[in-house]
Structures are given as structure tokens and as C-alpha cells.
Amino acid sequence: MYPTKNSLPEKTRERVITMLQERLTDSIDMALQAKQAHWNVKGPDFIALHELFDKVAEAAEDYVDLIAERIVQLGGIALGTLASLKERTTLPVYSVTIASGKEHVAALSHALASYGESVRDSIARAAEAGDADTADLLTEVSRGTDKWLWFVEAHGQSER
């Protein structure tokens, strides 16, 4: 870790950095999965889904930046290269062979739900570690993720 005048105890910072690195890995994967859907969606809802999936990717890229910068603020090194991420993501594998809007909606919804769950778990872990700022940052990510999950899921829900 790099030295910092941040007043959080070093052990707290170490613990939080480790947890944030897990969320950084998942955030990068989330952004890439949304781009996979954005680039490859086909079908009658193409334009609506193409644009929606791009917005999900942009939001995930914002989360990547927030989380990576928090790691560095705490004295850590944000690991964001493909080699450092490949085996560490906790998100479900996104199939690269799907094309239909319905299949992309299902796959991206599943990824967003998984991502949201891990972020909520990390909010609790940050609070337990005594880092309210990181818990607050992750709460912002969680709220945004829930919004995008709602938007994507709405495309797979029928009228009652």
C-alpha cells in the first residue's frame, strides 16, 4: 500500500481495498457484458435494447471509475488489466452466442441481479469495517444498478 494521510486505520484500509478490488473486477465485467449485449442484440426491439444496453454499459463504466479511484484514495493499487481480472469475476459467464433481444434481456438481467447482490454485500462489509465513505459510494452504485435492472427486466415482463 502507498502511504496516505487518510485517517482510516491501515487495517481498515487494507480490508476495504481487498473488497473494493472484488467489486472493481465485477464492475469491469458488468460493463463488458452490457457492451456484449449492446453490440450483438438482434430482433424487433433492436434499437430500444441497443440504446438501453449502451446506457447500462456507460453506468457500469462510471462505477468502475468510482471504485478504482476509491481504492487509490485508500492507498491501494486498482487492478484493471484483463490479465488481473479474468479468473476473479464473480458474475455469471455471459454467453457470446446469443443474439435475440429476449435472450440478452434474460442474460443481462441475471448479471445485473448478481452484481447488485455483491454490491449490497460489500456495503455491509464496508460499514462493518468502519468505512462509511466506501459504504456510501457503494450505496450509490447499488441504487444505480437496481434502476438498470428494473429497466432491463421491464423488457422481459408482459402485461398482466
> Residue 52 and residue 67: Cα distance in Å, rounded?
23
Summarize pLDDT for 130-156 with one digit per residue, the tens: 999 999 999 999 999 999 999 999 998
- 112 lies in some domain: yes
- 65 lies in some domain: yes
The predicted structure's pLDDT at residue 14: 96
Summarize pLDDT for 48-87 with one digit per residue, the tens: 999 999 999 999 999 999 999 999 999 999 999 988 887 8
- 4 lies in some domain: no
- 160 lies in some domain: no
- 78 lies in some domain: yes
- 61 lies in some domain: yes
* Domain hosting residue 61, numbered range: 10-154
| 111 residue type, one letter | A
pLDDT band at 160 (very low <50, low <70, confident <90, very high): low
Long-range contacts made by residues 93-100, C-beta under 8 angstroms, separation at least 24? 94/33, 94/36, 94/37, 96/36, 96/40, 98/40, 99/40, 99/41, 99/42, 99/43, 100/41, 100/42, 100/43
The predicted structure's pLDDT at residue 87: 83
Q: Which CATH number characterizes residue 56's domain?
A: 1.20.1260.10
- 105 lies in some domain: yes
- 90 lies in some domain: yes
What is the number of domains present in the chain?
A: 1
Residue 33 confidence (pLDDT) above 80? yes
Do 157 and 113 contact (CB within 8 A), yes or no? Answer: no
